[in-house]
Structure 1
Amino acid sequence: MSQEQQAGGAWGESARGRRLSTLLSASAVVAGGSGLVETVEGLRGGGGDQAVAVKENKLFKAYETGARWFTNLFPIWLCVFSGIALKDPSVFAWFTTEYFTAALAVLMLSMGITLSPKDFVNVLKRPNAVMVGFVFCYIMMPALAYALGIGAGLSPALLAGLVLVGCINGGQASNLCTFIANGNVALSVMMTTITTLGAIVMTPLLCKLLLGTVVPVDAVGIAFSTVQVVLAPIVVGMMTNKFFPSVVKAVLPVTPVVGVLSTCFLVASAVAQVAPTIISAGLALQIPIILLHLLGGLIGYFLPKAMGFSEVSSRTMAIETSMKSSAFGFLLAKLHFGSFEARVPAAISVVWMAITGSMMAIIWRYIPVETPKFDRGVKGRFEKINFLSVMRRKFGKDAEGTAKGA
């Protein structure tokens, strides 16, 4: 079996654990793994008291194991926090809008510290999958959300909230789910990054076009909030990565746990603020939101397969399409949509988005897949994939570089 096949579908549990704790994910696993690898190497030797180094290494391995299990149980923690928020919303009353905004910005910052300009150059070398994912995110999903809302007979405010969920960028937890599903993590990271940056223009534009006649839409305010919460932290993170690499290396080992906890508090806060409305709305509101994420995942999988993309890329695009940054949608609805009800769909979506993505990941985890040497693009052009070198480039210090187009 080739190295590529081993990397794509037959990793052992130990290799899976080592990589999992270093994945870039702003909401579950939020940083790249090169810093973690270098941290481990630093603990292993290089002078000084060897006994102390060995002891520290054992402690670090114990922490790494605990962090891996903690992040693996992310969907369970999400359900627990959401259940508490529904039963007793006052538990999360302290998590105000200021904390909510800051937490989102920190998660975006954690994405930025693992990025460099070279990553965007690599996207231009092999853009087909990223382009398809962008179209799914900002054309197919908004249209699907609008159709489901109209079909369910939602009120204007609830329709606006559902369409807003369809118009926002991909969620960072998709990187974790892609890894579990034996997808292409490097592709997932770049798709999340590109749709996140695209939200600066696409989200306010789509909201104005689709909802301008339904509810008042402050497109300028949405754009400003997107720059503040998304663009600025990512730019700061990239600058930190370039000029202060030692700082980035120091924080990488703790970001998985911090990312999971931050996401759980964001979700719980959103649910708690609209808990009575969620309970009273019942299935009439739950069903279109569930269908948005479920159908998005199904279309995001089968359409790329029909276009000629590989199983690995199709799984990746399915998860990226289904999982939206619903917490960011909740913040936008709260800040820029006048009606209280407009924020309810996003609060419900944060739960169903995570459940749907996790279910896809768990199912695909137990369906073997071979990583092909070539992946057909949307125009029939073959694109070379060296998954192992991509993973090493993004998550390991001994990388040779990303895959290049054939």
Structure 2
Amino acid sequence: MTNSIFSQLVLPLSLFIIMFGMGLSLQRQDFARVVKFPKAVTIGLLGQMVLLPAMGFLIAALFVGTPALAVGLVLLAACPGGTTSNLISYHARGDLALSVTLTAITSVLTIITIPIVVGLALAVFKNTNVPIELPITRMVLTLFVITLLPISLGMLVRGLRTQLAQRLEPKISAFGAIFLGLLIIIILYEQGDSLLGQLVSAGPSTLLLNVVMMAIGFLLAVWFNLNDRQRASITVEVGVQNSTLAILIASTVLNDGTIALPAAMYSLAMYLTGGSFIIWRRWQGKRAVAL
């Protein structure tokens, strides 16, 4: 996939469309909300920008034996949240405004942090099968073109043509879900005979990263006495990342399909844990009403 038209054209273009759709759901107020509830945003950013990459390194070092898979896990941990985290937060009856705000801010910040974190991961887990020289300029440019630019364009359309944006956004979200499913199938198929061994190595580690970070996000929110809806959103935002972005970076910038495998596994795990979290939150709500 690394040298195919799919990875070099279809994947970036599709992610551009998906991020454009996310921009259609954003407004300038989403970035300004950091002033409205600074404590919740600060806690979310601490969990997502600091604790999550650190946990990615720890789990990769302890449980992932293949260097390329270890780098892939750290890359995944360095990625921002995405539309999936907003969707899960919404259905889990979290604070959607907080969820969107964190997704918007981290999508901008990770243009700077991803090259740093991935460069460190390559240095820590390097071997002959993993490229040592990180094309930082290309990575930053790629991140700008497929994150900040389409998000900005989507916000511009939202500001100028609100009704059009509201009609397009759910359609693009549906496209994103379908495309992610197709992407997972392609990555798994291309691993061929080595797939089973890599699944054993990467699968449990990605699930562990997802579960541990959701738990840490929840505990942070409880520790700092955030309200119930904010706790739900912090839990999701810290624990659910933009796996499609991780796959694109692995495939087009690092040119290694194996590095993309943890993100593909994570895409399956996050729907399992996210769905379970939604069910638990709905059960909590019904129980509270009954009492």
Normalising to structure 1: TM-score of the pair?
A: 0.63
- Does the 8 A contact of 1:311 with 1:369 survive in 2? no
1:204 aligns with 2:204: no
Deviation at 1:121, TM superposition (A): 1.9
Deviation at 1:326, TM superposition (A): 1.0
Equivalence for 2:43: 132
Aligned partners of 2:229 and 2:36: how far apart in 1?
19
1:173 aligns with 2:90: no
Match of 1:103 among 14, 19, 25: 14
1:323 aligns with 2:240: yes
- For residues 332-354 of structure 1, the C-alpha deviation after alignment (integer angstroms, 9 at most, x for no partner) is 01122254422221221221122
Question: Which amino acid counterpart does residue 271 of structure 2 have in structure 1?
Answer: A
Deviation at 1:315, TM superposition (A): 1.4
- Does the 8 A contact of 1:162 with 1:346 survive in 2? yes
Match of 1:114 among 13, 22, 25: 25
Question: Which amino acid counterpart does residue 118 of structure 1 have in structure 2?
Answer: Q
Equivalence for 1:238: 155
**Root-mean-square deviation (Å):** 2.5
- Does the 8 A contact of 1:271 with 1:348 survive in 2? no
Aligned partners of 1:337 and 1:254: how far apart in 2?
31
Task: Give the unaligned 5+ runs of structure 2.
Answer: 127-131
Question: Which amino acid counterpart does residue 145 of structure 1 have in structure 2?
Answer: G
- Does the 8 A contact of 1:101 with 1:229 survive in 2? yes
Question: Which amino acid counterpart does residue 92 of structure 2 have in structure 1?
Answer: A
Question: Which amino acid counterpart does residue 227 of structure 2 have in structure 1?
Answer: S
Alignment of 1:213-232 (within 5 A): 213-215=124-126, 216=132, 217-232=134-149
Equivalence for 1:156: 67
Equivalence for 2:284: 367
Equivalence for 1:351: 268
Match of 2:222 among 299, 305, 319: 305
Equivalence for 2:175: 258
Between the two proteins, what is the percent identity of the paired residues? Answer: 24
Aligned partners of 2:235 and 2:43: how far apart in 1?
11
- For residues 194-240 of structure 1, the C-alpha deviation after alignment (integer angstroms, 9 at most, x for no partner) is 11111111111222234334332222222111101001101111111
Alignment of 1:74-89 (within 5 A): none
Q: Greater helix percent: which structure?
A: 2
| Larger mean Cα displacement after TM superposition, 158-167 or 170-179 | 170-179
**Do the aligned partners of residues 348 and 259 (structure 1) sit closer, same or farther apart at CA in structure 2, a change above 3 Å counting?**
closer
**Do the aligned partners of residues 276 and 192 (structure 1) sit closer, same or farther apart at CA in structure 2, a change above 3 Å counting?**
farther
Equivalence for 1:194: 105
Task: Give the unaligned 5+ runs of structure 1.
Answer: 1-88, 372-406
SS in 2 for 1:334: helix
Tell me: higher relative CO, structure 1 or 2? Use CA pairs within 8 A at least 6 residues apart. Answer: 2
Deviation at 1:277, TM superposition (A): 3.5
Normalising to structure 2: TM-score of the pair?
A: 0.86
SS in 2 for 1:182: coil
Aligned partners of 1:253 and 1:141: how far apart in 2?
29
Aligned partners of 1:173 and 1:261: how far apart in 2?
12
Equivalence for 2:52: 141
1:342 aligns with 2:253: no
Aligned partners of 1:256 and 1:282: how far apart in 2?
28
Alignment of 1:35-46 (within 5 A): none
- For residues 83-112 of structure 1, the C-alpha deviation after alignment (integer angstroms, 9 at most, x for no partner) is xxxxxx9xxx99554222111111111111
